[in-house]
Structure 1
Amino acid sequence: MTLTQDAAAAEAAAHPRRESVYRPGHPVDIRRTVGMLRRGPGDPTMVFDGAVIWRTVRTSRGAATLALRAVGDEIRASAWGAGADEALETVPALCGAHDDPSGFDPSHHPLIAEVARRSPGIRLARTNEVFDALACAILEQKVTGLEAFRAWRLLVTKFGHRAPGPTPRPMYAAPTASEWHRIPSWDWHRAGVQPPQSKTIVRTAARADSLARAFRAATTGDDRDRVLTSLPGIGVWTSAETRLRALGDPDAVSVGDYHLAHEVGHALTGHRTDDDGMLELLAPWAGHRQRVIRLIFASGVSEPRRGPRLTPADHRRH
């Protein structure tokens, strides 16, 4: 065996596969629930492999890998690495165990009612990884998804931690906040991250623990927004994106998104709208507006493209 194979064999022997079964008691579509956390098809932290979703987890004992598969009414999880048991504990939250749809009335609009009836397994995932969600959102500020996903892939692969287990391709757990803080300026530049975004991540990384505690302690969306937007470079869009991934916030709405208002307007009225119009359309579902947005995405109804796809600018040349 090669040195790499020897190391892999030693790791497997020291930390064999651990398994658990989650029985949620209600339908869960893991592809639409857990899968929405994937940051593009090349995401090094999440891979779709047939019916299995592979996801890396950074635990207190190091990087771990989860493999999730729905079998009947069960979600079967396997985990590898020193933090395997800790990773298995995250499965219920990832699969929407904390998502409470009480009070949600889809009947305010026929499309929402139909999709809710047809897709009862859409739940809101919760990672509890506040800084990771925040870093992703900051990378996505004012750029195309293609640019943001590329930056995430390059930085996590270089500065993250190789994931254990028989993953379908090499996978990595995201860097810790202190590791994000130490990324050199030239590596941000090579990844195509503009200085305002890299500086915001570095500043935020220095306060990651206290920020996460305050964010989790906040009990309303407005309070969570105030925690995050108190920092330079973080606005309501970034806060909403963090809320929906880290806490599965059912009411988070990404005001200021380039496409979202157009898509919501088209789905609910057949016409484009702006942010104010979107908020008015979503008002009947106050407390569950993110849930409605997820159902709109699941409906397949989408505004037709009006022009050629935006070509990303290569800021590394400047």
Structure 2
Amino acid sequence: MSLAPPVSASGRVDDASRVDTVYRPGGAVDVASTLRPLQRGSGDPAYQVVGGVVWLALRTPQGPASVAVRRAGDAVAVSAWGDGASWAVAHAPELLGRGDDQDGFDVSGHAFLAAAQHRQPGLRLLRTNTVVAMLVPAIMEQKVTSRQAWGAWRYLLRRHGTPAPGPAPAGMMVPPDAATWARIPSWEWHRAGLEPGRSATVMRAVKLAPALERTLAHGRGGDAVSAALQSIPGVGRWTAAETAQRSHGDPDSPSVGDFHVPALVGWALTGAPVDDDGMLELLEPWRGHRERVVRLIGGSGFRKPAFGPRLTIQDHRGH
């Protein structure tokens, strides 16, 4: 299969800033399912899939980058553009699951999970190596429905993001850096639909950006990372988990406090809904890989039963 760089919808192929790499994982990697946690709803200005190519607009420590990721035979081809292109390419293997250690993960004793794993041999847990970039949208998703949070995300990226460099699909935007998030005025947060509590939490978080990025030295998550994230007023267990799952590639950080996840886990594993405590009890046999189990369930196509009329509800996920 050709490793030529992808062509954008506009017909542009590349520019002088393009950097390429080919990642050979030595096993199956499902690019779409591995990267899907980065998508903040349909119409996300920082994430698009065009012709089988996953396009990401990333804010890296070296600046904005557009990244195109696609299967190429037994390899994954990655092209990047912009000031952050070299950084993005250097970290692309971890983004695609390198370092995601599945040693000791055994679901053979549970028929549903064994089948889910068999159907998803290429599912890997990504690691972006960017903490604030993952924390800010997680804060936006606190205590509201995903639709509300994703609408705010789209609004703020289109107003305050950076146009994605290179031949990225039209309309893609790189999220702001920490300094730009800090300069967004209060009325813009209001127009985006974020109340002062969440916007204030974002402001506190971005002021601590250098310290938060240093938590990457702790590896793939864990108690030290969770504690550091939760030291920010307004950031609790749910937000810390949602962040570490993506920034650090934490395989053991299920989203406690989520409106949907405990019920999904309960229905999938036992045929009945459970609360947070029940979910953690069910996941305990796979401690060290509890988030991996949740990802397997989520990617399996399983859906919990729907009862009664569809209601407009508030998503009371914990901070």
TM-score by length of 1: 0.90
CA apart distance, 1:31: 0.5
With normalisation by structure 2, the TM-score equals 0.90
Partner of 2:5: none
Q: Is residue 15–residue 82 contact of structure 1 (8 Å, CA) maintained in 2?
A: no
1:169 is matched with 170
CA-to-aligned-CA distance 1:185-225 (integer Å, 9 cap, x gap): 00000000111100000111111111221464377622222
Amino-acid identity (%): 49
Q: How many residues align?
A: 304
**Partner of residue 53, structure 1:** 54
- SS of residue in 2 equivalent to 1:180: helix
Does the C-alpha gap of structure 1 residues 116 and 96 become closer, same or farther in structure 2, counting only changes over 3 Å? same
Partner Cα separation in structure 1 for residue 66 and residue 74 of structure 2: 23
Q: Distance in 2 between matches of 1:245 and 1:219?
A: 10
- Give yes or no for contact 2:13–2:167 (8 Å, CA) kept in 1: no
Q: Give the counterpart letter for 2:235 in structure 1.
A: I
Provide the rounded CA distance (Å) in 2 between the counterparts of 1:270 and 1:95.
32
Native 8 Å contact 1:161 1:173 kept in 2: yes
Q: CA deviation at 1:264?
A: 0.1
Q: Quick one: which amino acid aligns to residue 49 of structure 1?
A: V
Dislocated runs of 4+, deviation >6 Å: 11-14
What is the root-mean-square deviation in Å for CA atoms of aligned residues?
2.0
Matching residue of 2:107? 106
For the residue of structure 1 that corresponds to 2:235, the secondary structure is coil
Contact 1:15 1:81 in 2 (8 A): no
CA distance in 1 between counterparts of 2:90 and 2:115 reads 34
Match of 2:256 in 1: 255
Distance 1:190 1:266 in 2: 38
Q: Identify the residue that residue 76 of structure 1 maps to in structure 2.
A: 77
- In the superposition, relative to structure 1, how do residues 230 and 71 fare at CA in structure 2: closer, same or farther (>3 Å)? same
User: Can you give the 5+ residue segments of structure 1 that lack an aligned partner in the other structure?
Assistant: 1-10, 314-318
**Aligned AA for 1:97?**
R
Pick which of 227-236 and 16-25 moved more: 16-25
How far the C-alpha of 1:310 sits from its partner, in A, is 4.6
Higher helix share: 1
- Post-superposition offset of 1:147: 0.6
Letter matched to residue 52 of structure 1: V
- What secondary structure, in the 3-state scheme, does the structure 1 residue paired with 2:284 have? helix
Retained in 2: the 8 A contact 1:35–1:53?
A: no
Verify the 8 A CA contact 2:96 2:124 in the aligned structure 1.
Answer: yes
Which aligned pairs between 1:1-318 and structure 2 lie closer than 5 A? 15-214=16-215, 216-217=217-218, 221-311=222-312
* Structure-2 change in CA distance of 1:256 and 1:28 (3 Å): same
Equivalents in 1 of 2:14, 2:33: separation in Å?
Answer: 34
Equivalent position amino acid for 2:168 in 1: T
The letter of the residue matching 1:103 is: G
